[in-house]
Amino acid sequence: MPLDRFVLILVCVVIAAGLTVWVGAILAASVAMPLTLAALLPLSLVLYVVWRVIAQRLSNREDDRYDRTPR
């Protein structure tokens, strides 16, 4: 994945997470909700992005720099 595409996706995810936190804060203010439940959705979004990045790096055969080492 090109770096510019990765940065664009990362920026979109950060903006979406910020909007999610904002909407969650509005909902939490209107309903008595524990703080851990309000933080669960943005935390799960961040963990999903980290998991996808790690999974993509582990499974990408074209970008495997150790495959080209002389033996």
For residue 66, tell me if it sits in a domain.
Answer: no
For residue 65, tell me if it sits in a domain.
Answer: no
Summarised one tens digit per residue, pLDDT across range 5-58 is: 888 999 999 999 999 999 888 877 777 666 677 678 788 888 998 898 888 878
Structural Rg of the chain based on CA atoms: 18
**Rounded to an integer, what distance in angstroms lies between the CA atom of residue 64 and that of residue 58?**
8
For residue 71, tell me if it sits in a domain.
Answer: no
For residue 26, tell me if it sits in a domain.
Answer: yes
**Rounded to an integer, what distance in angstroms lies between the CA atom of residue 21 and that of residue 13?**
12
Do the Cβ atoms of 10 and 3 come closer than 8 Å?
no
For residue 48, tell me if it sits in a domain.
Answer: yes
The pLDDT of residue 18: 94
Residue 17 host element (H or E): helix 3-30
